[in-house]
Amino acid sequence: MSRLSIKLMGALVAIFTFSMSAFAADNAPVFSSPKNKIVVTEQNPEFTITLKSNPTTGYSWDVAKIDDLIFKNTGHKYVAPNTKLMGASGYEVWTFKAIYPTTYKFRVNQVGHVVMEYKRPWEKNEKPTVVEHFMIVLKK
Please work out, in degrees rounded to the nearest 5, the angle formed at the alpha carbon of residue 89 by the alpha carbons of 83 and 92. 115
- Under the banding of pLDDT at 50, 70 and 90, the label for residue 133 is very high
> Please, what's the largest Cα pairwise distance for the chain?
80
Q: What is the model's pLDDT at position 3?
A: 55
Lowest mean pLDDT among 8-12, 31-35, 84-88, 102-106: 8-12
The answer on pLDDT for 32 being more than 80 is yes
- State mean pLDDT over 34-55: 91
Mean pLDDT of the chain: 81
Among residues 59, 64, 65, 61, the alpha carbon closest in space to that of 77 is found at 61
Report yes or no: 103 and 125 within 8 Å, Cβ to Cβ. no
The answer on pLDDT for 137 being more than 80 is yes
